[in-house]
Structure 1
Amino acid sequence: MDKPQPIKRDKYLQPLSHDHHHGLMLCWKINKGHKKGVSAERIMAYAKHFFETQLEQHFREEEELLFPLIGMKDEGVMHAMDGHKRLRVLFFDEENLDNACQLIAKELKAHIRFEERTLFNVIQEKAGAEELLKMNQQLHSRPAEQSLNTWEDPFWA
């Protein structure tokens, strides 16, 4: 069986795809912590920090800058928006932290895979290069890679 070919991401979407990589790392860290028996409180503290410092900005940029390029009524955009809404709730679920952590890891991974494998491809096909450039110019600066790894409790290590 042939290996799937890597997706050629438009250069103007690459900062958002890079964010997705960091989101997948969050999922990995949550799963690693869970396997090591780390308390849900420690894991969720990091997850909330990640959400507040990285993910919320990423969601806003997609919702305000990227998704309008193909229309908010697009089926894929509506699916992504539903995912954002669900994830926002999970990151602040105080009722069952262990369940919330596991759902964040599962749902965020699926959400990112959908955006990367499906929605971003549609956007690349439908949006013009000029529109993607304009969207890219409005993105906020990305944090340095090292700033994502400065959490004082690296429970995943």
Structure 2
Amino acid sequence: MSKSTPLKRDPALQHLSHDHHQGLLLCWKIRQGFKLGIEPSRMRTYSQWFWENYLESHFEEEEKVIFPILSEEDSLLKQALSEHKRLRKLFSSWEDPEKTLGQIEEELERHIRFEERTLFQVIQEKASAEQLETIKEYATREKFVENDSDNFWVTQKSK
């Protein structure tokens, strides 16, 4: 069995990969919530907080400074934008919170894996030194700070 080599991420993109790590943790937290039988409204509240405080600005940064490196006709760019649009819609429509949470968990994880394994590899190969420097300049936002008001993923049904 061959051991896979970790992806070498350009330093200019590392802050976005750190964001992706937090996004994957959101997916894990949702899965844990389902396993623990947590009320979907609690998971929705946390997920909405995560969207408003981290993920929404992450998408905006990618669309403003990362995605323009690719041609508007690039299929990877079209896929990323389509997935962003779909995820925005999910985070804004909560008619059936349990179903929406399940979709967010699946689609966000798939999207992050796509960006990390495919899209960012292409971006860092195509980006000029100047473009990478511009990306690096956007890495000034605050680091992730957990919302500890309801750590549903480590609690039982009561609350």
TM-score range for the pair, normalised by the shorter chain length: over 0.9
Moved more, 113-122 or 63-72: 63-72
- Residue 82 of structure 2 corresponds to which residue in structure 1? 82
- Residue 100 of structure 1 corresponds to which residue in structure 2? 100
- Residue 57 of structure 1 corresponds to which residue in structure 2? 57
Deviation at 1:74, TM superposition (A): 1.3
Contact 2:15–2:139 under 8 Å retained in 1: no
1:133 and 2:130 are equivalent in the alignment:
no
TM-score using structure 2 length: 0.93
User: Pairwise mapping of residues 1-157 of structure 1 onto structure 2 (< 5 A)?
Assistant: 1-137=1-137, 139=138, 141-145=140-144, 147=145, 149-157=146-154
Deviation at 1:71, TM superposition (A): 2.4
Q: Name structure 1 gaps, 5 residues minimum.
A: none
SS in structure 1 at match of 2:12: coil
Q: Name structure 2 gaps, 5 residues minimum.
A: 155-159
Aligned pairs, number? 154
Contact 1:69–1:123 under 8 Å retained in 2: yes
TM-score using structure 1 length: 0.94
Contact 1:15–1:142 under 8 Å retained in 2: no
Q: RMSD value over aligned CA atoms?
A: 1.1
Q: Which has the higher contact order (CA 8 A, sep 6+)?
A: 2
Change (3 A) 1:126 1:4: same
Moved more, 126-135 or 79-88: 126-135
SS in structure 2 at match of 1:119: helix
SS in structure 2 at match of 1:101: helix
Moved more, 124-133 or 5-14: 124-133
Distance 2:143 2:126 in 1: 31
Deviation at 1:144, TM superposition (A): 3.0
Contact 1:90–1:100 under 8 Å retained in 2: yes
Whichever residue aligns with residue 143 of structure 1, its letter is E
Distance 1:23 1:32 in 2: 14
Contact 1:46–1:151 under 8 Å retained in 2: no
**Superposed structure 1 runs of 4+ greater than 6 Å apart:** none
Deviation at 1:140, TM superposition (A): 5.3
